[in-house]
Amino acid sequence: MNDAVSHLVRFEPVGIEMDVHEGETVLDAAFRQGISVMHGCKEGQCASCKSRLIEGDIELLKYSTFALPESERDTDHILLCRTLAYSDITVELLNYDEDLLSRSIAVKEIPATLTSVQSLTRDIRLLTLELSAPIRFWAGQYVDITIPGTGITRSFSMANAPGDHAAGGSTTLQFIIKIYPQGAFSALLDGGLADGQPLIVKGPYGTCFHREGRPGPLVLIGGGSGMSPLWSILQDHAARGDHRPVRFFYGARTRADLFHLEEFAGFTSRLPNFRFIPALSHAEPGDEWTGETGFIHDVVARTLRAEGLDGEIDAYSCGPPPMIDAVLPVLQMAGVEPERIYFDKFTPATR
């Protein structure tokens, strides 16, 4: 890559400049140089990195027209994760976050070993990896995990809290992963990958990370494996001795799909103003469920105001894209400032 032709990229209105090699996407160039711009799936599916080309020659790799409709392409909108530059270019960042830019961590590729796979429910597993070198990340971020020799790479959000950044970060990573029976990666966790399996971890990625130390309540909303980054954020919050009120909304189908209940009970007794609000969308008669029912966005819509939370809320939501799409307007209707809503859509991989 070092001998590759390079061009200059200038981001407005922040005035940051970097280089991009021909054949490298603008987003990958930013990751390489430790410049954290807004992004999500990195595969042209989620639209988080949507920006506007002010000047220069570019080509866009294949993307979803849900993420970038034709009408927006006609007005020079681009997806940074799909953009190749053929000249110096100037790009207007439509969504940028000073906090994000100031907390950039350069992406690294680190060999890792699978150390255990533990069942949390019938289709949720806890994967633990040991890395050959520590990685720094913020609670809520994700990495790409590759199974060498198979061409399979998938994104997974860390479930554990980050280690001490001053000591270089963490060498152990944990992930809460949902099994899809036909899933190229996830199905292998049920016997297809043995302890000791070599893997490659690349990251950290993601902008849905814990903005700790702020005043105002913390609202966490997840469904299924969306628990993974939220669990990391909750542990980070507890480890820092933070006293913000926390409401953790979690959607599952049935009672048997809930997990970590003892740990949640522990947080309820230890943290000063914490409430875990699980909701079942398909409670079964044997569940004898007396808690919330229905889809999690409806539960948030029904109950968030009644929680009587004072101050500006920071909201984090992770999980299946339809869940996030339903949660975002609910949060805005509840008065949460759009720039304080952070989310990761677990979009399916395209490769």
Ligand X SMILES: Cc1cc2nc3c(=O)[nH]c(=O)nc-3n(C[C@H](O)[C@H](O)[C@H](O)COP(=O)(O)OP(=O)(O)OC[C@H]3O[C@@H](n4cnc5c(N)ncnc54)[C@H](O)[C@@H]3O)c2cc1C
CB 292, min distance to ligand X, A: 23
The answer to the question of residue 183 lying near ligand X (CB under 6 A) is: yes
The answer to the question of residue 96 lying near ligand X (CB under 6 A) is: no
Among 186, 207, 235, 317, binds ligand X (CB under 6 A): 186
Complex with ligand X: residue 332 or 350, whichever CB lies closer: 350
The answer to the question of residue 121 lying near ligand X (CB under 6 A) is: no
CB 2 within 8 A of CB 22: no
CB 72, min distance to ligand X, A: 21
Bridge partners of residue 344, in order along the sequence:
318
CB 248 within 8 A of CB 234: yes
- Range in contact with ligand X (rule: CB under 6 A) among 85-93, 109-117, 174-182, 306-314: 174-182
CA distance 84 to 161: 35
The answer to the question of residue 101 lying near ligand X (CB under 6 A) is: no
Contact letters (x/-) for ligand X, 41-80, by CB under 6 A?
Answer: x---------------------------------------
Complex with ligand X: residue 44 or 206, whichever CB lies closer: 206
Write down the residue that tokens 């990340």 correspond to.
Answer: 137
- Range in contact with ligand X (rule: CB under 6 A) among 62-70, 114-122, 133-141, 339-347: 339-347
Residue 235's H or E segment, with its range, is helix 227-239
CB 275 within 8 A of CB 267: no
CB 105, min distance to ligand X, A: 16
The answer to the question of residue 232 lying near ligand X (CB under 6 A) is: no
Q: Tell me the two tokens of residue 174.
A: 């944990």
The answer to the question of residue 142 lying near ligand X (CB under 6 A) is: yes
Number of other residues whose CB lies within 10 A of the CB of residue 348: 12
The answer to the question of residue 156 lying near ligand X (CB under 6 A) is: yes
Number of other residues whose CB lies within 10 A of the CB of residue 62: 8
The answer to the question of residue 178 lying near ligand X (CB under 6 A) is: yes
How many angstroms separate the Cα of 120 from the Cα of each of 39, 131, 267? 30, 23, 18
Among 63, 138, 185, 248, binds ligand X (CB under 6 A): 185
Residue 327's H or E segment, with its range, is helix 321-333
What does the chain come to in residues? 351
Complex with ligand X: residue 234 or 301, whichever CB lies closer: 234
Identify residues 292-331 at the interface with ligand X (CB under 6 A).
Answer: 320
How many angstroms separate the Cα of 242 from the Cα of each of 35, 245, 311? 28, 9, 15
CA distance 19 to 40: 21
CB-nearest residue to ligand X: 183
Complex with ligand X: residue 101 or 184, whichever CB lies closer: 184
The answer to the question of residue 209 lying near ligand X (CB under 6 A) is: no
Bridge partners of residue 222, in order along the sequence:
250, 318
CB 47 within 8 A of CB 68: yes
Among 136, 154, 244, 297, binds ligand X (CB under 6 A): 154
Complex with ligand X: residue 230 or 300, whichever CB lies closer: 230
CB 186, min distance to ligand X, A: 3
Q: Tell me the two tokens of residue 74.
A: 């006609």
- Amino acid sitting at position 348: P
Indicate if the alpha-carbon torsion angle 169, 170, 176, 182 is positive or negative. Answer: positive
The answer to the question of residue 127 lying near ligand X (CB under 6 A) is: no
How many angstroms separate the Cα of 132 from the Cα of each of 164, 193, 199, 238, 282? 16, 19, 11, 27, 42
Among 60, 184, 256, 328, binds ligand X (CB under 6 A): 184
Instruction: By CB under 6 A, name the binding residues for ligand X.
Output: 41, 142, 154-157, 175-178, 180, 182-186, 206, 225, 228, 320, 344, 346-349
